[in-house]
């Protein structure tokens, strides 16, 4: 029985993130902005003394 290269039989499909790098970049930017805005809001509340109106 001849040796068959397994890699030639299996076609590797790239995952969704590999095929759409632009969308992943947008998700990363939006995530960073969400962390930044959350941090700024918490910082402002901390400076104001956590007063709830």
DSSP string, 11-29: PPPP-HHHH-HHHHHHHHH
pTM (2 d.p.): 0.61
User: Is pLDDT at 36 greater than 90 in this prediction?
Assistant: yes
pLDDT in tens, 2-31: 566 666 666 667 898 899 999 999 999 999
Residue 53 has pLDDT above 70, yes or no: no
| pLDDT computed for residue 40 by the predictor | 96
Q: Which pLDDT does position 48 carry in this prediction? A: 84
Report how far residue 32's alpha carbon sits from residue 12's, in angstroms, rounded to the nearest whole number. 32
Regarding predicted confidence, which is higher, 43 or 2?
43
- Give the C-alpha separation, 12 to 4, whole Å: 17
């Amino acid at each position: 029985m001849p040796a068959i290269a397994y890699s030639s039989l299996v076609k590797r499909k790239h995952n969704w993130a590999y095929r759409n790098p632009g969308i992943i970049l947008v998700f990363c930017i939006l995530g960073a902005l969400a962390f930044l805005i959350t941090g700024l809001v918490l910082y402002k509340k901390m400076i104001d003394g956590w007063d709830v109106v």
